[in-house]
């Protein structure tokens, strides 16, 4: 596990990562083509990861979890699984991402009710529903402060009544629990933002047809979610006015940070494919990789991957030290996480493109997987506000271009 350098040093953490890498090499690598089209293969592979403890990894040991909270470790696990398939790795992140608001708010009734099902060996899923038909970026844009959210929650007695529509969330229609970003009144801006949990099967909750996409075709299900007078108990709201906005910003910071290893796992896999392929293919009497032009290209790819990995690990280490670096919801850490995402996604795109050049037509062929990694990784760059909003959040962490 030398690749995580000085950020992952404990014998216990290294052993966990070695177990995951062995599982990825044994079970995911040979099934990469299947994972593009075969739902049963995805379910089998994910069930194996759940048995290894992936689903329960972040939860407290009091609930039967493994208590892995260190951000560099969360990121390293994400990159290791992503090296096999970033859709599978994304799926493993959905549960902690959706439960983070309840945990961040220390909402004990919610945690007691929902965390235990994720600490079992039965594969489960969760969904964080942000994006709406009118846009994703405007919900994620801090300058908007939640005033563009159109999914509403109104309190009637001891129940929240939710109405509206979400578009694209991962796990739509397959999740066991939905954390819904809504508003009690858009005029209240951030004070109106409410994160409310809705279990699957709640009357009034329905879903559109899954979208057909370029990558992550079966490993991630995306669809519209319709809320038609959906009623849940009052205590299903994560925190309360003001706090829910902070919790949502925490979700953005975590989402941007973990997007970096999600993306970079693709680049690492592609680098390995290229090194192997160019060692067996020859021109001018020697392997492709032994020509100085191609060796320099491979050197550049490896250098870029190392720099992007060191970048996200450095930001992850800051996530571990909130006393020094501030809250996850602050502009500073959101800006740092956004920069790590931008960097990793740009590197992965470059590495996939260079790999195709180094491998010729074989780089473009389905059986050599480079095209799969390119397809899967592209969306990581586009989600959570895309590269444009991420860049604006980096700028915002230096100066108030859009005063809040």
Ligand X SMILES: Cc1cc2nc3c(=O)[nH]c(=O)nc-3n(C[C@H](O)[C@H](O)[C@H](O)COP(=O)(O)OP(=O)(O)OC[C@H]3O[C@@H](n4cnc5c(N)ncnc54)[C@H](O)[C@@H]3O)c2cc1C
> How many helices (DSSP H) and strands (DSSP E) are in the chain?
13, 9
The two tokens of residue 328 are 């996850």
Q: Of the candidates 136, 138, 131, 155, which has an alpha carbon nearest to the alpha carbon of residue 208?
A: 131
Q: Is 363 in the site for ligand X (CB under 6 A)?
A: no
Three-class DSSP category at 327: coil
Q: Find the part of the chain contacting ligand X (CB under 6 A) among 62-70, 283-291, 335-343, 385-393.
A: 385-393
How many C-beta neighbours within 10 Å does residue 217 have?
21
How many C-beta neighbours within 10 Å does residue 126 have?
26
Q: Which is nearer to ligand X, 218 or 370 (CB)?
A: 218
Measured between alpha carbons, how far is 74 from 328 in angstroms, rounded to an integer? 15
Q: Find the part of the chain contacting ligand X (CB under 6 A) among 43-51, 59-67, 264-272, 383-391.
A: 383-391
Q: Is 126 in the site for ligand X (CB under 6 A)?
A: no
Measured between alpha carbons, how far is 213 from 73 in angstroms, rounded to an integer? 30
Minimum distance, C-beta of residue 211 to ligand X, in the bound complex (Å): 7
Q: Is 392 in the site for ligand X (CB under 6 A)?
A: yes
Q: Is 170 in the site for ligand X (CB under 6 A)?
A: yes
Handedness of CA 259, 257, 10, 102 (dihedral sign): negative
Q: Is 146 in the site for ligand X (CB under 6 A)?
A: no
Measured between alpha carbons, how far is 151 from 135 in angstroms, rounded to an integer? 12
Position among 48, 116, 135, 199 found at the interface with ligand X (CB under 6 A): 135
Q: Is 222 in the site for ligand X (CB under 6 A)?
A: yes
The two tokens of residue 257 are 């940070």
Beta bridge partners of 195: 181
Which residues, including other chains, have CB under 8 Å from residue 358's CB and lie 6 or more apart? 274, 277, 278, 288, 294, 297, 298
Where in 47-106 is the site for ligand X (CB under 6 A)?
none
Q: Is 182 in the site for ligand X (CB under 6 A)?
A: no
Q: Is 138 in the site for ligand X (CB under 6 A)?
A: yes
**Contact string 7-46 vs ligand X (x = CB under 6 A):** ----------------------------------------
Q: Which is nearer to ligand X, 222 or 336 (CB)?
A: 222
The two tokens of residue 27 are 């079970």
Minimum distance, C-beta of residue 136 to ligand X, in the bound complex (Å): 2
Where in 192-221 is the site for ligand X (CB under 6 A)?
213, 216, 220
Longest C-alpha distance within the chain, in Å? Answer: 80
Minimum distance, C-beta of residue 225 to ligand X, in the bound complex (Å): 9
Q: Is 178 in the site for ligand X (CB under 6 A)?
A: no
Cα→Cα distances 41→38, 47, 88, 99, 311, Å: 5, 10, 11, 26, 33
Number of residues near ligand X (by CB under 6 A): 24
Q: Is 136 in the site for ligand X (CB under 6 A)?
A: yes
Minimum distance, C-beta of residue 78 to ligand X, in the bound complex (Å): 15
Compute the chain's Rg from CA coordinates: 21
Q: Is 137 in the site for ligand X (CB under 6 A)?
A: yes
Position among 112, 388, 398, 404 found at the interface with ligand X (CB under 6 A): 388
Measured between alpha carbons, how far is 180 from 128 in angstroms, rounded to an integer? 6
Q: Which is nearer to ligand X, 35 or 271 (CB)?
A: 35
List residues binding ligand X (CB under 6 A). 128-131, 135-138, 141, 168-170, 213, 216, 220, 222, 379, 383-386, 388-389, 392
């Amino acid at each position: 596990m030398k690749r995580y350098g000085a950020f992952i040093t404990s014998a216990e953490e290294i052993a966990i990562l070695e177990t995951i890498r062995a599982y990825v090499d044994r079970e995911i690598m040979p099934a990469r083509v299947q994972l593009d089209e075969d739902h049963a293969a995805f379910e089998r592979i994910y069930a194996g990861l759940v048995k290894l403890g992936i689903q329960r990894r972040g939860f407290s040991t009091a609930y039967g979890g493994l208590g892995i909270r260190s951000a560099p470790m969360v990121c390293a696990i994400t990159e290791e699984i992503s090296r096999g398939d970033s859709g599978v790795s994304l799926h493993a992140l959905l549960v902690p991402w959706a439960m983070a608001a309840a945990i961040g708010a220390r909402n004990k009734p919610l945690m007691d009710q929902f965390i235990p099902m994720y600490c079992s060996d039965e594969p489960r899923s969760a969904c964080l529903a942000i994006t709406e038909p009118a846009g994703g970026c405007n919900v994620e844009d801090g300058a908007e402060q939640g005033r563009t959210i159109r999914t509403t929650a109104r309190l009637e007695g001891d129940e929240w009544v939710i109405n509206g529509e979400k578009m694209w969330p991962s796990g739509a229609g397959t999740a066991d629990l939905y954390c819904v970003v809504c508003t009690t009144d858009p005029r209240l801006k951030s004070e109106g933002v409410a994160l409310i949990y809705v279990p699957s099967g709640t009357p009034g909750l329905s879903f559109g047809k899954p979208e057909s996409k370029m990558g992550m075709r079966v490993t991630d299900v995306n669809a519209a979610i319709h809320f038609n007078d959906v009623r849940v108990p009052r205590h299903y709201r994560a925190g309360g006015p003001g706090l829910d906005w902070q919790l949502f910003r925490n979700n953005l910071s975590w989402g941007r940070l973990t997007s970096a290893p999600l993306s970079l796992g693709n680049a690492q896999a592609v680098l390995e494919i290229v090194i192997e392929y160019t060692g067996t293919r020859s021109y001018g009497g020697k392997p492709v990789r032994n020509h100085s032009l191609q060796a320099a290209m491979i050197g550049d790819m490896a250098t870029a991957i190392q720099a992007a990995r060191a970048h996200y690990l450095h930001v992850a280490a800051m996530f571990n030290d909130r006393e020094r670096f501030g809250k996850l919801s602050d502009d500073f850490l959101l800006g740092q996480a956004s920069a790590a995402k931008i960097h990793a996604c740009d590197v992965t795109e470059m590495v996939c493109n260079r790999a195709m050049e180094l491998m010729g037509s074989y780089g473009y062929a389905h059986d050599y997987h480079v095209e799969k990694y390119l397809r899967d990784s592209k969306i990581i760059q586009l989600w959570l506000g895309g590269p444009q909003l991420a860049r604006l959040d980096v700028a915002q962490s230096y100066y108030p271009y859009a005063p809040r």
